[in-house]
């Protein structure tokens, strides 16, 4: 079903900036990745989204194609990112049918809630295989095409590119491992590996014109992960601990994606763009009666502790 533009894309971006470009996205039928691809398609790109569920992936592709008249969006289901030969075949088909691969989003992921003693070796391996190995396989399958695109659409930062940009990859990660998150040790391990991989790609492939960056979403409302892995009351509490005082939206992840893939991201390489309203910096801020942000907004002074100094103002 067609979405209103502002549900997945801010108004600041100029239509057509990704004309004749192609994005290849694993996990493309998911809540966040489908919004990223939809925004790119709206701005002129064609796309190939990858998923394991055939029906879900094909339906998502048809839906994303409504973002722009004449858009071409392939939905390739039955593709397991843990199998390099299958992913390589998908990349080859994408290039054959759409002409190139200029941008890649490595977004396939798996998650569930469990303590580390409850996680079986097979369960941990599954998450690492989908997230880390899947991201690696995505890179390997698309890298030759990305290098070709990067060379074709070089920019020196001083002159306007003739035809936008190319040769860029984004790894979708998380902030769970920054401070540690209970029930998420398996995902934290995997996402830390993805972050390290993205930096290695930037260092080693940067001289070929590639840019490799990470987007780390925080709590994003209306996503499958948020709905499946949290209770409504927990989401409301989580929002109160975010400096921005709300959950994020998929549009805000899409905007970060466009920033990195477009002319604005030419000199950003090997970096992590955290899109979480400041959430990860406040996860350990509640201490007893000192609740965030209520205590700060109340104007009260801290009581019951020795280390306290009254203001002279």
Please choose, from the candidates 168, 155, 184, the residue with its C-alpha nearest in 3D space to the C-alpha of residue 271.
168
Are 131 and 108 within 8 A, CB to CB? yes
Are 28 and 37 within 8 A, CB to CB? yes
The active-site residue out of 21, 34, 135, 191 is: 191
Please choose, from the candidates 100, 139, 89, the residue with its C-alpha nearest in 3D space to the C-alpha of residue 22.
100
Does the bond joining 293 to the residue before it have cis omega, within 30 degrees of 0?
A: yes
The active-site residue out of 173, 185, 212, 262 is: 173
How far does Cα 16 stand from its chain's mean position? 22
In the annotation, is 173 catalytic? yes
The span from the CA of 258 to the CA of 105, in Å, is 12
In the annotation, is 149 catalytic? no
Residues forming the active site = 173, 191
């Amino acid at each position: 079903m067609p979405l209103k533009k502002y549900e997945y894309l801010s108004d600041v971006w100029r239509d057509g900036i990704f004309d004749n470009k192609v994005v290849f996205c694993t996990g493309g039928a998911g809540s966040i990745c489908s919004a990223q691809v939809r925004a790119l398609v709206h701005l002129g790109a064609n796309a190939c989204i990858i998923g394991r569920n055939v029906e879900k992936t094909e339906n998502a592709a048809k839906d994303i194609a409504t973002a722009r008249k004449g858009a071409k969006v392939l939905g390739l289901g039955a593709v397991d990112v843990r199998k390099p030969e299958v992913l390589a075949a998908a990349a080859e088909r994408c290039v054959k049918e759409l002409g190139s691969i200029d941008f890649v989003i490595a977004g396939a992921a798996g998650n569930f809630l469990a303590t580390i003693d409850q996680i079986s070796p097979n369960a941990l391996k599954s998450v690492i295989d989908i997230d880390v190995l899947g991201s690696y396989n995505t890179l390997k399958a698309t890298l030759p095409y990305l290098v070709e695109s990067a060379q074709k659409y070089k920019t020196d930062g001083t002159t306007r590119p003739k035809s936008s940009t190319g040769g860029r990859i984004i790894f979708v990660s998380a902030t769970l491992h920054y401070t540690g998150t209970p029930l998420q040790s398996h995902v934290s391990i995997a996402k830390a590996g993805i972050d390290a991989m993205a930096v290695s790609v930037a260092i080693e492939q940067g001289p070929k014109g590639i840019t490799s960056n990470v987007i780390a979403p925080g709590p994003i409302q209306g996503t499958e992960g948020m709905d499946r892995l949290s209770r409504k009351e927990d989401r409301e509490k989580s929002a109160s601990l975010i400096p921005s005082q709300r959950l994020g939206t998929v549009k805000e992840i899409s905007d970060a994606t466009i920033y990195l893939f477009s002319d604005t991201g030419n000199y950003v390489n090997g970096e992590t763009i955290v899109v979480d309203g400041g959430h990860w910096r406040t996860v350990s801020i509640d201490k007893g009666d000192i609740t965030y942000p209520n205590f700060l907004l109340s104007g009260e002074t801290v009581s019951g502790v020795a280390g306290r100094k009254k203001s002279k103002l």
